[in-house]
Amino acid sequence: MRKMNNHTLSFKDYFQRQMQIPNFNQDKLRLNILISGLGGTGTHIALACVRLGVKTIKIIDNDIIEPSNLNRQVLYKKHQVGKRKSQIAEKQLEDFNLTSNIESYDFDIFRNWQSFLEQLKNSDFIFCCLDLPIIKRLAVASACLFFKKPMIYAGIDVVNANSGMILYQAPEGNPCYECMELCLTQLNPKFLSLFQPNYIIKQDEIKIDEIQEIPNFFSSSNYYIASIISNLAVNLMIQNIQSWIKPPNRIIFDAYNWELSKFFLNRNKYCKIC
């Protein structure tokens, strides 16, 4: 192994092994990535983007670090319990940073919806790592459709925690997040119009608790599924931007049965969003 002076290291020194991958174009990672939610999947995805050399990584969360986060949320430590997730995540990512610009934001995206949209429309790729209720993800997905931004949702099964799902929404939808998840069937009809792309971007605030009940239980989760699902989501982004193959829009990993399933879903012709 060669000894190097850190002050003389170049971009190529950091990413040489990555750039040797057949058909891997490092320049295509000169992206502005937005990660909403810094939990089990969001922290892993942020760390992966730093290691890959993504140009700009924007992270948003409004929570504090809790003891129950530490079994899977890779950027936090015991002595940081009670501190702001976004601030600590930014500091930890800087410790691993090779060439990326890292920006952190600490606000509730639904109470400060226009501030969030400002970040979203100036991003190239969106990772939605939000928890329940499901309409949080639908709101973000609808805004992504309006601004024609690709979005990946990555999440863990809240009951058994040994499986997870990844959904990819292309800039034009077809299918969109609603086509794949049928969120609107769970809502009072009076809220249906709110989630139309051309309407949701006009809101100053999305009152989540008035639209759908917020679960009052702790979801099941563990480190290895959070890691696997997150890295599969990052791989989906890489395949998309490198244009290697047509990416699936739904991936399910089941650790119980050692199964990885991919789906190429079509648009729901009755979809009220896309």
Torsion of CA 2, 5, 9, 15, to 10 degrees: 40
67-87, pLDDT tens digit by residue?
Answer: 999 999 999 999 999 999 999
CB 17 within 8 A of CB 40: no
182-201, pLDDT tens digit by residue?
Answer: 999 888 889 999 999 999 99
CATH code assigned to 26-263: 3.40.50.720
Q: How many CB atoms lie within 10 A of CB 152?
A: 24
- Residue 215 confidence (pLDDT): 74
What's the N-to-C CA distance of the chain in angstroms? 53
- Residue 2 confidence (pLDDT): 43
44-72, pLDDT tens digit by residue?
Answer: 999 999 999 999 999 999 999 999 999 99
Going from N- to C-terminal start, the domains of the chain cover: 26-263
Confidence class for position 3, pLDDT limits 50, 70, 90: very low
Residue 5, pLDDT above cutoff 60: no
The CA-atom distances, in angstroms, between 105 and each of 12, 80, 100, 207, 248 are 30, 18, 16, 20, 31
* Sign of the four-CA dihedral 47, 48, 52, 55: negative
198-233, pLDDT tens digit by residue?
Answer: 999 999 999 999 998 877 667 889 999 999 999 999
Smallest Cα–Cα separation from 221: which of 30, 120, 73, 117? 73
Least confident window among 143-147, 214-218, 224-228, 269-273: 214-218
- Residue 219 confidence (pLDDT): 82
Smallest Cα–Cα separation from 249: which of 228, 233, 227? 233
- Residue 217 confidence (pLDDT): 66
* Sign of the four-CA dihedral 51, 36, 273, 233: positive
Greatest alpha-carbon span in the chain: 65
pTM of the predicted structure, to 2 decimals:
0.94
Smallest Cα–Cα separation from 212: which of 110, 135, 128, 159? 135
Average pLDDT, the chain: 94
As a whole number, mean pLDDT of residues 171-190 equals 93
> What percentage of the chain has pLDDT greater than the value 90?
87
As a whole number, mean pLDDT of residues 147-171 equals 95
- Residue 56 confidence (pLDDT): 98
Residue indicated by tokens 């760390």: 47
Residue 7, pLDDT above cutoff 80: no
